[in-house]
């Protein structure tokens, strides 16, 4: 029985790796501009192409977006699994707990702040891109810290989930008010960000993203045993000498 289950898991993991590689490859070779197969390979491995525009499309557009999509998928799946483990609930996630709406609120406030100063996201590309990243991190982190504070005070994890839904609803309502007072360009910038737009991503930013997510994945791997013990119950984890507060954080 255990052997058949492990074989199914191995097959599933193999299928996921194969499909990831397949779609990553298709993302490089397919697009609105047709680029011959041999030219794509030449650009990727020799950095040469018959047309300079083809090289720019592959190196500066398709490749960074493909890398970022894989990295984001890995980061979101691992962090989602950690949240479900922390709350011991398969429904737990950044949308349910209000963390995503906290990030959205931070970005909405940043874009509206630029508007108050008479600027737009397109006016100062470098500053606005990193500003959006910074404010989204600040917004989501504040909500996450609030949830961690609530967890330490309440033993009923379902209460925390309900509070997370309430926080998310409040954030969404504030975002709706900000959107109402925003102009067309601000509204478009926010909607494109909320949809997960990767168009503004360069290869250098993809490399930076890979380093950051790499540290996150290594950190998650380091606490795997503690999370597995925590999933079986706090009392069981404490009996193994695991610091619950540190593990949660």
Confidence of residue 126 (pLDDT cuts 50, 70, 90): low
Confidence of residue 121 (pLDDT cuts 50, 70, 90): low
Q: In terms of DSSP H, where are the helices of 117-202?
A: 125-153, 157-180, 184-194
- Give mean pLDDT, residues 243-247: 78
* Mean pLDDT, all residues of the chain: 81
* Distance from C-alpha of 37 to C-alpha of 79, rounded to nearest angstrom: 36
- Within 8 A by CB and 6+ apart from 196, the residues are 72
pLDDT at 22: 92
Crossing angle of helices 2-29 and 37-46, in 10° steps, is: 100
Q: What percent of the chain has pLDDT over 90?
A: 5
- Rank 10-14, 128-132, 184-188, 204-208 by mean pLDDT and report only the highest: 10-14
- Within 8 A by CB and 6+ apart from 111, the residues are 121, 132, 182, 186, 189, 190
Does residue 15 have a pLDDT over 90?
yes
* Distance from C-alpha of 230 to C-alpha of 243, rounded to nearest angstrom: 10
* Residue predicted with more confidence, 186 or 134: 134
- Give mean pLDDT, residues 161-169: 84
pTM here is 0.75
């Amino acid at each position: 029985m255990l052997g058949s289950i492990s074989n199914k898991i191995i097959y599933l993991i193999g299928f996921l790796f194969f499909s990831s590689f397949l779609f990553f490859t298709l993302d490089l070779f397919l697009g609105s501009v047709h680029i011959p197969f041999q030219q794509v390979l030449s650009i990727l491995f020799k950095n040469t192409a018959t047309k300079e525009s083809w090289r720019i499309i592959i190196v500066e557009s398709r490749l960074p977006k493909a890398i970022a999509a894989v990295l984001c998928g890995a980061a979101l799946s691992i962090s989602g699994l950690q949240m479900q483990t922390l709350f011991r609930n398969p429904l737990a996630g950044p949308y349910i707990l209000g963390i995503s709406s906290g990030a959205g609120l931070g970005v909405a406030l940043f874009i509206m702040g630029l508007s108050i100063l008479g600027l737009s996201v397109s006016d100062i590309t470098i500053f606005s891109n990193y500003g959006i990243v910074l404010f989204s991190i600040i917004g989501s982190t504040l909500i996450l810290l609030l949830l961690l504070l609530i967890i330490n005070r309440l033993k009923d994890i379902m209460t925390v989930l309900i509070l997370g839904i309430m926080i998310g609803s409040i954030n969404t309502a504030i975002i709706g008010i900000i959107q109402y007072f925003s102009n067309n360009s601000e509204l478009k910038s926010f909607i494109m960000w909320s949809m997960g737009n990767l168009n503004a991503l360069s290869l250098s930013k993809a490399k930076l993203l890979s380093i950051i997510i790499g540290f996150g994945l290594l950190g998650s791997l380091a606490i795997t045993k503690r999370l597995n013990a925590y999933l079986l119950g706090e009392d069981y984890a404490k009996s193994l000498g695991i610091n619950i507060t540190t593990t949660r954080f």
